[in-house]
Homo-oligomer: A and B are copies of this chain.
């Protein structure tokens, strides 16, 4: 056992801005890597990596994501979503992590991150927002709600899945096999992880819990 680093609320407040940002961004565990595709009313496309996409419900099929305070810097993704009501969520895979990462650089709204980062926009079934051709699992989202988080002025964007596309061979045992698709996770702000499937357990019922309590330790 190595010694533990132990922080109180006061210790966290006393950290400099960057150290706290890095530390607190890492503590929640692995985060999914997704690219959000959108377009302005004028048709300028935008692509941005997000590590804050999460499941919110399956009926209706709702996905949430967290947007940093819009007052800080221009948020093209946010503006496009409000303007057009549509966006896409696209999984990031091994094969294009670096391109995906650099979509986080702040570039002028007239410059598309698709072009700048070498990823290809793709339009599916007339859906109004651009998908990422290189991505295997992708969703066309209809904007549903913009919820302000009062404690820190971040916003939770809720959308409903209107179009879902995934490769047939990724759907195994009633689950998307993220090892097979080559999906990646993010820790903190800029570390990327490969995923290897190691276990699968049945739905947990009280009368089927293994006898952990009496096992030898």
Interface residues of A (CB under 8 A from B): 1-9, 12-13, 17, 19-34, 51-64, 66, 89, 91, 94, 97-99, 101-107, 115-118, 124-125, 137, 139, 144-145, 147, 149-152, 154, 156, 158, 160-169, 171, 173-179, 183-185, 187-206, 208-210, 212-213, 215, 217
Contacts and interface: CB of A to CB of B under 8 A. Distances in A.
Contact of A60 (B30, B61, B151, B204): B151
A29 B25 contact: no
Residue with the greatest number of chain B CB neighbours at <10 A, chosen from A139, A158, A178: A178
Contacts of A19: 174
A34 to B, nearest CB: 6
A33 to B, nearest CB: 7
B200 A190 contact: yes
A42 B198 CA distance: 38
A198 B193 contact: yes
B179 A193 contact: yes
Nearest to A190: B201
Contact of A212 (B118, B162, B179, B215): B118
Contact of A98 (B174, B194, B199): B199
Contacts of A7: 161, 163-165
Nearest to A69: B57
Contact of A117 (B66, B169, B201, B212): B212
A191 B196 contact: no
Given A6-B124, A184-B198, 15 more contacts: A4-B168, A24-B55, A27-B176, A29-B53, A29-B91, A56-B151, A97-B199, A98-B210, A101-B201, A105-B209, A116-B213, A179-B193, A185-B195, A191-B200, A192-B199
